[in-house]
């Protein structure tokens, strides 16, 4: 099986290009054919040497004028590329087999890059060649040491095709598929899946198929395969293969978000692998995450600092940048996280893996959200979603769409928010690292709608997980405060209290200020609901103090809004007005239109900044007007109560007075009356 077979150009297109090529002089034709053999791009010097054209510049000019080639001129280097990939396919298809083989043999002597040289030797081969296959295998090993998995996969597929002995051929194909997954090319790996399934059971086969299952988000399948692979490992005879299996188990533990297992398997892999082995390097990149997920933040940072001093070149810095950036975000350092995650995104020539890039983009979007740069966050989500559609790495899908769902909901773009929620959706059988962001996306959209019962429902799968120790580690997955707040808003005060206490204690012990602030909001609302407004005020002020000097504008706005809403409900309208205006200013800067409108309604309900009203509206109190506005807009009594932070009975009480003052008897009449009154408002 070819990794990416070159497809021929359509016959009519080939004929048109052939006619255009025939109109060129002999030197230009030879140069264009040489470029077609050399690949997608070639330097002018390489093309001249291969075509043996004595005066390549006039020939190149002619080829460019004919529309066959394009030239990019840089100091000391001229690069030739085809105007379109189909042009190259048409030209190459017109070169006879014997001449093409001869050109590939000569090209292997012309190009300097070892990978390209070997590729030309493969193209010139007409039968199996174990010597060339061995050379490709050695080259794959060199590229693996640099973490360049796409190059590894390509070399090993070619080596497998040239290998005589079946067992050796299968070993190379297995390692090629393993490298495809490492590069994030799951569709290509899946194209080989049937072939792999036909291979005899063995440690490497099970480890590779387990790796594919991880990327596809299938924990039960991955665990069965990797457990079997581990059972057959022999650390004494095959320490390298055993280290590889350990590294796959590291990734499985990452999917489970199990810090203890991440650390345990990573240390086994590092201990078994030789220095510089990819299994050890990739495991070390996850080790810091595992330590942080266990609450050992200082050890995590020390691990990354030590690794940075000895980090090899190639694509490996991408992995460590992702891990360190992820940890920095969780440790309330989003400004430090952003450049690390930005650097982990690119995947150009030998720069890194699509798999790592998708995770980096997912956490970069969360970082941009936290910092308040929401347009950038949405651009990151859009790019990542496009890459995700091609790579089909299910493991990263919910993370990518979580941020899109939340921002669109806060902006009031409900169709877009619901689309992202749908794209993030997973089942209980998926990995925890998929389930938690999927549930958060659904919950935060429901919270933006003011539907707190749906918030509880959305986060219940997370609350019911059997092992939550690492998931509950403060600030990695900010779900506890959302859940506790929803419990309180739906009247389940005792449940909210019991749920909050251990999370508050852990956040305080870890000294994680953003988590303390978010949990403090829920605690302050709960305290107010129990009638202790003075203590509630103190708790809100403490929550805001935790956020002081942290670059987290949305968290600060959220606390201020809840604080102002609570003060208004307690009748402290002047204090509420100042706090709500702080929240409004922050929401306006962020573009959070959903909460901007709520701030306006809260400020209007406070009655300190009244506007000229029509005779009908002037009869209503500020609170009655706020209730009437929501009900006239189609809100139910329950939704109105949640929106204004009052009871359903209070809504009914205000509606009774509104109906009497306006001389109406139904909600439809209220809506009509409100439409008539609104222009004068």
Please work out, in degrees rounded to the nearest 5, the angle formed at the alpha carbon of residue 640 by the alpha carbons of 627 and 674: 40
Fold match flag (417-432+439-599 vs 615-680): no
Please work out, in degrees rounded to the nearest 5, the angle formed at the alpha carbon of residue 177 by the alpha carbons of 171 and 182: 125
- Structural tokens at position 510: 């870890």
**pTM of structure:** 0.82
Please report the pLDDT score of residue 469 as a whole number: 94
Please report the pLDDT score of residue 632 as a whole number: 85
Distance of CA 616 to the CA centre of its chain: 52
Please report the pLDDT score of residue 7 as a whole number: 80
Strand-pair partners of 82 = 69
- Measure the CA–CA gap between 537 and 524, rounded to whole angstroms: 7
Please report the pLDDT score of residue 620 as a whole number: 80
- Structural tokens at position 143: 């590229």
Which residues does the chain have with pLDDT short of 50? 349-350, 678-681
Please report the pLDDT score of residue 285 as a whole number: 92
- Structural tokens at position 132: 């060339």
Sheet strands (E) in 169-273 = none
Sheet strands (E) in 21-74 = 41-43, 69-74
Please report the pLDDT score of residue 113 as a whole number: 92
Where exactly are the structural domains of the chain? Answer: 1-125, 316-392, 417-432+439-599, 615-680
Closest CA to 244 of 234, 259, 258: 234
DSSP category for residue 410: H
- Measure the CA–CA gap between 102 and 622, rounded to whole angstroms: 88
- Measure the CA–CA gap between 226 and 220, rounded to whole angstroms: 10
- Measure the CA–CA gap between 670 and 681, rounded to whole angstroms: 15
The CATH fold of domain 1-125: Arc Repressor Mutant, subunit A (1.10.10)
Please report the pLDDT score of residue 372 as a whole number: 95
Please report the pLDDT score of residue 278 as a whole number: 85
CATH class of 316-392: mainly alpha
Please report the pLDDT score of residue 287 as a whole number: 96
- Measure the CA–CA gap between 331 and 334, rounded to whole angstroms: 8
- Measure the CA–CA gap between 495 and 642, rounded to whole angstroms: 18
- DSSP count for the chain of H helices, then E strands: 38, 3
- Measure the CA–CA gap between 62 and 81, rounded to whole angstroms: 14
Q: What is the CATH number of domain 615-680?
A: 1.10.10.10
- Measure the CA–CA gap between 672 and 664, rounded to whole angstroms: 10
- Measure the CA–CA gap between 316 and 318, rounded to whole angstroms: 5
The CATH fold of domain 417-432+439-599: 1.25.40
Distance of CA 604 to the CA centre of its chain: 40
Q: Are 580 and 588 in contact (CB under 8 A)?
A: no
Please report the pLDDT score of residue 681 as a whole number: 34
Contacts made by residues 419-428, CB under 8 angstroms, sequence distance 24+: 420/381, 421/445, 423/385, 423/397, 424/397, 424/398, 424/400, 425/398, 426/217, 426/397, 426/398, 428/461
């Amino acid at each position: 099986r070819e990794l990416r077979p070159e497809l021929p150009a359509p016959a009519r297109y080939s004929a048109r290009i052939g006619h255009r090529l025939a109109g060129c002089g002999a030197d230009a034709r030879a140069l264009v054919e040489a470029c077609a053999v050399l690949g997608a791009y070639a330097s002018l010097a390489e093309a001249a040497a291969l075509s043996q054209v004595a005066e390549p510049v006039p020939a190149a000019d002619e080829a460019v004028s004919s529309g066959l080639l394009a030239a990019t001129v840089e100091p000391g280097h001229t690069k030739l590329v085809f105007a379109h990939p189909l042009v190259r396919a048409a030209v190459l298809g017109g070169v006879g087999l014997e001449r093409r083989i001869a050109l590939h043999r000569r090209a292997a002597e012309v190009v300097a890059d070892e990978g390209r040289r070997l590729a030309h030797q493969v193209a010139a081969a007409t039968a199996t060649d174990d010597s060339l296959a061995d050379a490709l295998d050695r080259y794959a090993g060199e590229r693996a040491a640099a973490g360049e998995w796409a190059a590894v996969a390509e070399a090993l597929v070619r080596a497998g095709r040239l290998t005589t002995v079946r067992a050796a051929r299968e070993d190379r194909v297995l390692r090629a598929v393993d490298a495809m997954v490492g590069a994030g090319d799951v569709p290509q790996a899946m194209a080989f899946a049937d072939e792999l399934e036909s291979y005899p059971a063995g440690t490497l086969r099970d480890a590779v198929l387990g790796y594919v299952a991880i990327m596809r988000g299938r924990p039960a399948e991955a665990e069965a395969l990797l457990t079997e692979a581990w059972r057959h490992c022999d650390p004494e005879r095959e320490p390298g293969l055993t280290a590889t299996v350990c590294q796959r188990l590291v990734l499985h533990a990452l999917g489970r978000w199990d810090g203890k297992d991440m650390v345990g398997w990573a240390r086994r892999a590092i201990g078994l692998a030789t220095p510089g082995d990819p299994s050890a390097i990739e495991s070390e990149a996850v080790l810091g995450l595992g330590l942080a997920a266990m609450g050992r933040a200082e050890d995590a940072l020390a691990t990354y600092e030590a690794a940075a001093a000895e980090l090899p070149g190639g694509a490996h810095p991408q992995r460590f940048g992702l891990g360190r950036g992820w940890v920095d975000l969780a440790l309330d350092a989003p400004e430090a996280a952003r450049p690390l995650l930005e650097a982990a995104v690119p995947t150009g020539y030998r720069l890194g893996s699509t798999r790592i890039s998708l995770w980096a983009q997912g956490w970069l979007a969360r970082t941009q959200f936290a910092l308040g740069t929401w347009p950038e966050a949405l651009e990151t989500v859009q790019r990542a979603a496009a890459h995700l559609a091609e790579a089909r790495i299910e493991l990263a899908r919910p993370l990518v769409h979580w941020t899109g769902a939340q921002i669109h909901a806060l902006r009031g773009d409900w169709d877009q928010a619901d689309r992202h929620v749908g794209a993030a959706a997973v089942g209980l059988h998926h990995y925890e690292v998929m389930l938690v962001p999927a549930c958060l996306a659904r919950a935060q959209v429901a919270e933006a709608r003011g539907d707190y019962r749906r918030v509880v429902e959305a986060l219940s799968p997370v609350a019911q997980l059997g092992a939550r120790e690492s998931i509950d580690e403060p600030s990695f997955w900010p779900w506890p405060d959302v859940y506790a707040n929803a419990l309180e808003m739906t009247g389940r005060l005792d449940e909210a209290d019991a749920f909050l206490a251990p999370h508050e204690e852990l956040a305080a012990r870890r000294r994680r200020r953003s988590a303390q602030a978010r949990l403090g909001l829920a605690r302050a609302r709960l305290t107010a609901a129990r009638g202790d407004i003075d203590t509630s005020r103190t708790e809100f002020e403490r929550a805001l103090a935790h956020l002081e000097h942290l670059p987290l504008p949305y968290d600060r706005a959220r606390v201020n809004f809840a604080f102002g809403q609570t003060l208004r409900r307690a009748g402290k309208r002047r204090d509420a007005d100042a706090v709500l205006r702080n929240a409004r200013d922050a929401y306006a800067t962020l573009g959070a239109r959903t909460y901007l409108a709520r701030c306006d309604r809260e400020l209007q309900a406070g009655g300190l900044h009244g506007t000229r009203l029509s005779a009908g509206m002037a009869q209503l109190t500020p609170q009655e007007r706020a209730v009437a506005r929501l009900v006239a807009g189609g809100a139910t009594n329950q939704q109105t109560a949640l929106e204004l932070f009052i009871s359903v009975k209070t809504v009914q009480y205000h509606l009774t007075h509104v109906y009497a003052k306006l001389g109406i008897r139904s909600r439809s009449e209220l809506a009509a009356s409100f439409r008539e009154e609104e222009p004068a408002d």
